[in-house]
Amino acid sequence: MRNLKDKKIVLCRKTTVKDSAGFAGEIYKAIHPGKLWAYVRQLSAGEFYASQALQQKEEMFFTINWRDDIDPPTAFFVCYKEKFYSITRVDTFEGYKEDLKLYALFLASQSKPGEIIEWQG
The string of pLDDT tens digits covering residues 17-58 is 888 888 887 788 899 999 999 999 988 766 555 555 555 678
Angle, alpha carbons 103-66-71 (nearest 5°): 55
Indicate if the pLDDT at residue 113 is higher than 60.
yes
- Output the pTM of the full model: 0.78
Residue 109 has phi, psi (to 5 degrees) of -100, 110
Res 72: pLDDT: 66
pLDDT for residue 37? 96
ω into residue 72 within 30 of 0, thus cis?
A: no
Per-residue burial over 28-45, b if 16 or more Cβ lie within 10 Å, else e, is bebbeeeebebbbeeeee
- What is the rounded distance in angstroms from the CA atom of residue 61 to the CA atom of residue 44? 10
Q: What is the largest CA-CA distance in the chain?
A: 54
Q: What are the two backbone dihedrals, phi and then psi, of residue 76, each rounded to the nearest 5 degrees?
A: -110, 145
Cα dihedral across residues 91, 12, 72, 58: positive or negative:
negative
